[in-house]
Structure 1
Amino acid sequence: MRILIWHVHGSWTTAFVQGPHTYLVPVTPDRGPDGLGRARTWDWPDSVVEVPPERLRDEHIDLVIIQRPHELALVDQWLGRRPPLVYLEHNAPDGRSPGVPDTRHPVADLPDITTLVHVTHFNRLMWDAGPADTTVIEHGIIDPGHRWTGELDRAAVVVNEPIRRGRTTGTDLLPAFSRAAPLDVFGMRTEGLAEHIGVDPGRCRTQDVPQSDLHTELARRRVYVHPVRWTSLGLSLLEAMHLGMPVVALATTEVTEAVPPGAGVVSNRIDVLTDAVRDFLADPPHARTVGDGARAAALSRYGLSRFLDDWERLLKEVTR
Structure 2
Amino acid sequence: MNILLWHVHGSWTTAFVQGPHTYLVPVTPDRGPDGLGRARTFDWPASVREVTPEELRDTHVDLVVLQRPHEWELAGRWLGGRRPGRDLPAVYLEHNAPDGDVPRTRHPCADRPGTTLVHVTHFNRLFWDNGAARTAVIEHGVVDPGHLYTGRLPRAAVVVNEPVRRGRHTGTDLLPGLAGAAPLDVFGMATEGLAGHLGLPPDRCRTADLPQRELHAAMAERRFYLHPVRWTSLGLSLLEAMHLGMPVVALATTEAVEAVPPGTGTLSTRPEVLARAARHYLEEPQAAAEDGARARQAALERYGLKRFLADWEQLMTEVAS
**Matches of 1:29 and 1:112 in 2, distance apart?**
32
Given the alignment of the two structures, is residue 86 of structure 1 paired with residue 91 of structure 2, yes or no? yes
| Structure 1 partner of 2:319 | 318
* Residues 56-103 of structure 1, C-alpha deviations (whole Å, 9 max, x = no match): 111000000000000000111111113111000000001x2xx11100
**Matches of 2:64 and 2:154 in 1, distance apart?**
46
Give the aligned residue type for 1:310: D
**Matches of 1:72 and 1:54 in 2, distance apart?**
17
Given the alignment of the two structures, is residue 29 of structure 1 paired with residue 29 of structure 2, yes or no? yes
Q: CA deviation at 1:211?
A: 2.1
**Matches of 1:55 and 1:141 in 2, distance apart?**
31
Match of 1:111 among 110, 113, 117: 113
| Structure 2 partner of 1:293 | 294
**Matches of 1:191 and 1:31 in 2, distance apart?**
24
**Matches of 1:118 and 1:285 in 2, distance apart?**
37
| Structure 2 partner of 1:53 | 53
What SS is found at the alignment partner of 2:57?
helix
> Where does structure 1 differ by over 3 angstroms across 4 or more consecutive aligned residues?
none
Q: CA deviation at 1:212?
A: 1.2
Give yes or no for contact 2:192–2:208 (8 Å, CA) kept in 1.
no
Give the aligned residue type for 1:269: R
Two-structure CA RMSD over aligned residues (Å): 0.6
Give unmatched runs, 5+ long, in structure 1.
none
What SS is found at the alignment partner of 1:184?
strand
| Structure 2 partner of 1:190 | 191
**Matches of 2:230 and 2:209 in 1, distance apart?**
24
Q: Percent identity?
A: 72
* Residues 23-68 of structure 1, C-alpha deviations (whole Å, 9 max, x = no match): 0000000000000000000000000000000111110000000000
**Matches of 2:302 and 2:114 in 1, distance apart?**
32
What SS is found at the alignment partner of 1:180?
coil
**Matches of 1:207 and 1:109 in 2, distance apart?**
42
**Matches of 1:126 and 1:294 in 2, distance apart?**
27
What SS is found at the alignment partner of 2:43?
coil
Give the aligned residue type for 2:56: L
The 5 A counterparts of 1:62-81 are 62-79=62-79, 80-81=81-82
**Matches of 1:209 and 1:23 in 2, distance apart?**
26
The 5 A counterparts of 1:124-143 are 124-143=125-144
**Matches of 1:50 and 1:207 in 2, distance apart?**
30
Q: CA deviation at 1:209?
A: 2.4
**Matches of 1:87 and 1:207 in 2, distance apart?**
33
Give unmatched runs, 5+ long, in structure 2.
none
Name the TM-score, length of structure 1 as normaliser. 0.98
* Residues 178-235 of structure 1, C-alpha deviations (whole Å, 9 max, x = no match): 0001100000000100010111111001123232110000000001100000000000
Give the aligned residue type for 2:285: P
Task: Name which of structure 1's ranges 203-212 and 307-316 shifts more when overlaid on structure 2.
Answer: 203-212
- Number of aligned residue pairs: give it: 316
| Structure 1 partner of 2:42 | 42
**Matches of 2:208 and 2:55 in 1, distance apart?**
40
Given the alignment of the two structures, is residue 17 of structure 1 paired with residue 2 of structure 2, yes or no? no
| Structure 1 partner of 2:240 | 239
What SS is found at the alignment partner of 2:292?
helix
Give the aligned residue type for 2:102: V
Given the alignment of the two structures, is residue 151 of structure 1 paired with residue 152 of structure 2, yes or no? yes
Name the TM-score, length of structure 2 as normaliser. 0.98
The 5 A counterparts of 1:219-298 are 219-298=220-299
